[in-house]
Chain A
Amino acid sequence: MLIKGQVISGEFGRIIARQKSGQSIEIGELLIADSGEGKILLQVYDLVYGSQISQQNLEMIAGMKLEENTEFELFDAELRNYMLAMMKSLATIRGKNAFISKSLPKVFSEVRGVNEKDLEFLAKPKNSLLVGNLRSGSKLLDLPVYLDGEKVFSHHVLIAGTTGRGKSVLVSNLLWSAVGRGYCGILVLDPHDEYYGRNKIGLKDHPNRGNIAYYTSKNAPIGTNALRINLDVIKPHHFDGVVDFSDAQRQCLNLYHKEHGDKWIEAVILEKTLSIENAFRPDTLAVVKRRLLYLLDLEFESNKLFCKGIFQLNSGFATISDVCKHLEEGRIVIIDTSNFSGSVELLIGSLIVNEIFNKYRFYKMNGSLNSKPVVSIVLEEAPRVLGREILERGPNIFSTIAREGRKFKVGICAITQLPSLIPREILANINTKIILGIEMKPERQAIIESASQDLSDDDRTIASLDIGEALLTSNFARFATPISIPFFENVAKSTFKNSEDAIEFSELKS
């Protein structure tokens, strides 16, 4: 095994090693320092120059080359100039077990590159969820990184990264890994219609495609569902966090619901009478009516209501309960929301999430929760419902789940470029964070401060993450794990099923 350097000094959390000439050490690289008690797994978080020549003389040497073009050759150059790597200890490895490090490697311990054998402790858990491949700096190790998907999804996931760094690829990989496993049902609100793979490789190509349900408002492919939701299933509280109604408008919604029951939206639009006369100012009802018409894509003429969009009067009665049934049976449900405004997308999410959360609360009460799969809600641009500003106006179903969902096996998988907009107490509740490259320091800081492992020295590591590189921090991982996200097409193709199941049409007559 090639020696890459030698520990020379430092302190706990900041171990300094001198790099061996001819070897390269990268930020994020995993190294091993062998010690008598086992192996210490180290990770490089910073690199600095070291030299036996004073700074003044180094500047002079550079000046002679630059200004006078004098060739200057140093005697024992490799001995005098070198690199210093700042490392932190990730774990102490003994056999196939790993523990949190509580000691330092000995001074002058040799450090070497990590290999697959060193990391045998990264075993595949029962409900394995493939997150990516282990990465050492920019080098890819042939070692898949798995987490316990059941625990991960119930304790919430945050996927943070700037646009183009691989968030969607990562989500596709996670979904692909979870399809048909039975331990989780996942609801995906898909504003870019990118996960099902209508016109490209996607989840529809999974060998267990029977465990995927796809709802779309645009020309549903064969075997998938046209998204239709009956107006009767919408209740005023479904608008919490979705539409910013004033107190008076909210009271108006509630009163109509109380008096007209399931048909309350129709009653608002058609301005049906209430038992209390002049309960609202006429302009309050007018605004509520206008906003409902716009949001739900309704029209009315000659005192009759017409539905133009997905919200329907005569169909879609069982859509929400069907979606919940799929989730309870451990399927992945993709809702194509690419045709809708953000508010409509969140309203659809609110309808489903309220229903499934209430069901799971009931299952906890009647003692049947343990037999149910975890349910995770994948939400793009999560600050729309989990952002500080939104939550100042009051809680919504998504924030409720972020705070208390894990007790009921319901979790959020929040995707965002701007984690700093999510309040710290919610970020701290999210026990798994997959961090992709983030340029903006406040965003990195928000994650570092709420991570499951100590990332206080990893600011530069996160800033230097390239496309497809990520740092995984989780209560269910032994250490903050650098990973590489494989291309989705490669993941999918590796498990493709080329032949279709043959069936017999025994009752068919010719």
Chain B
Amino acid sequence: MKFAHMADCHIGSWRDPKLRDISTDAFIKAIDKCIKEKVDFLLIAGDLFNTSFPRLDNLKAVVGKLKQLKDMEIPVYIVPGSHDYSPSGKTILDVLEEAGLFANVFKGTVENGRLRLSFAVDKKTGAKITGILGKRGALEKTYYEKLITENLEAEQGFKIFLFHSGIDELKPKEMENIISQPLSLLPKGFDYYAGGHVHIVDDKQIEGYGRIAYPGPLFPNSFAELEKLERGGFFIVEGNDLKWEPIQVYNIEKLQLKCDHKNPEQIKNEVLNHFESKELNNTIVLIRLFGVLGDGKPSDIDFKEIFNALYDKSAYFVMKSSHAVTSKEFEEIIAWKRKRN
């Protein structure tokens, strides 16, 4: 049995015209890789789209790839995520499922106010797949609290559980502020827990549970994620082997510059000097500035000149984060306010 596990594709997430197709491009590359690897089926653990109703051109491209998988008899199993779920219950996922492009495995019945999930059985491999969707604000937690686990745990065979939630015990320190839920809410005894929602690449064997894996996003969804992950990817699982397949859409070049005791002119020159010898073709450039200026104001830093210089070097896209740069005067006001409090 060989399957692919992806999550958090967030098709249509970036708003800038130059980036808004980037997650679609990543998805296309990922599906091509799945086809090349001859996977038996594909799991998508939530947030295929960034909204419940994505832009038509993005949708068209995704439908095209899903249709290609269908034609090649590679089934796709999904759960909705916190982004492509809609509180009104209306989502494009329903339309795509109706068209037979994938199966939403959040299926079952309600018994005495409790949730009894049923399994989707993959015809070719016999894998039994079920899962719970993700909702905004981690509201899916109540579903887990009402979940009947006995039938899920007693089921024999190779079992996969799709989920779109953070797990308290597994989330990294830098994600301490995301709402997550205890590990104990997951039903026990599955062979593979296909996670989404938390944008980390993680793979752990947990006693009593099995393998719990998060592939991370298919393409990073923010400046900070681009800085940290540089690229997205997904898992290909075959037997006990799990391989993370990176998806490289653009190269990444980044600079983190401490601005303490410097003036805007010095900062501009340092940034330009840093990239002078770099090859920036087909590259997203990330510039993060932080610290307290020795002289001048953050708004005096000539980003226009920096951006022009980098685009002249054929950079695909340039981004900056300068909110952590302050002027001396601003720091003095903060210190005074602290003292007064």
Mark A residues whose CB is within 8 Å of B. Answer: 220-226, 228, 230, 232-233, 314-319, 321-322, 325, 365-367, 500, 502-503, 505-510
Contacts and interface: CB of A to CB of B under 8 A. Distances in A.
Q: From A230, A233, A315, A322, name the one whose CB has the most chain B CB atoms within 10 angstroms.
A: A315
B106 A507 contact: yes
Nearest to B86: A507
A262 B3 CA distance: 37
Pairs A-B, 3 closest by C-beta atoms: A367-B341, A318-B176, A321-B176
B341 A365 contact: yes
B182 A315 contact: no
B171 A318 contact: yes
A218 to B, nearest CB: 12
Interface string B184-219: 110000000000000000001000000000000000
A505 B110 contact: yes
Contacts of B144: 223
A314 B204 contact: yes
Given A315-B169, A321-B176, A507-B133, A226 B183 contact: yes
Interface of B: 80, 85, 89, 104, 106-110, 113, 115, 133, 142-146, 149, 168-173, 175-176, 180, 182-185, 204, 338, 341
B143 A221 contact: no
B182 A224 contact: yes
Contacts, number: 85
A388 B281 CA distance: 69
A318 B175 contact: yes
A506 B169 contact: no
Given A315-B170, A319-B168, A509 B104 contact: yes
Contact of B143 (A225, A365, A505, A509): A505
Given A222-B149, A224-B182, A322-B176, 11 more contacts: A220-B184, A223-B185, A224-B184, A225-B169, A233-B173, A318-B175, A319-B169, A505-B115, A507-B85, A509-B107, A510-B108
Contacts of B115: 505, 508
A326 to B, nearest CB: 10
Contacts of A233: 173
A222 B143 CA distance: 12
A456 B176 CA distance: 51
Contacts of A318: 168, 171-173, 175-176, 180
Contacts of A506: 89
Contacts of A322: 168, 176, 180
Given A225-B169, A228-B169, A502-B113, A366 B338 contact: yes
Contact of B172 (A221, A224, A317, A503): A317
A4 B168 CA distance: 62
B171 A220 contact: no
Contacts of B341: 365-367
Most chain B CB within a 10 A radius of its CB, from A222, A318, A366, A503: A318
B330 to A, nearest CB: 16
A232 B182 CA distance: 21
A325 B171 CA distance: 15
Contacts of A317: 171-173, 176
Contacts of A221: 184
A500 B110 CA distance: 15
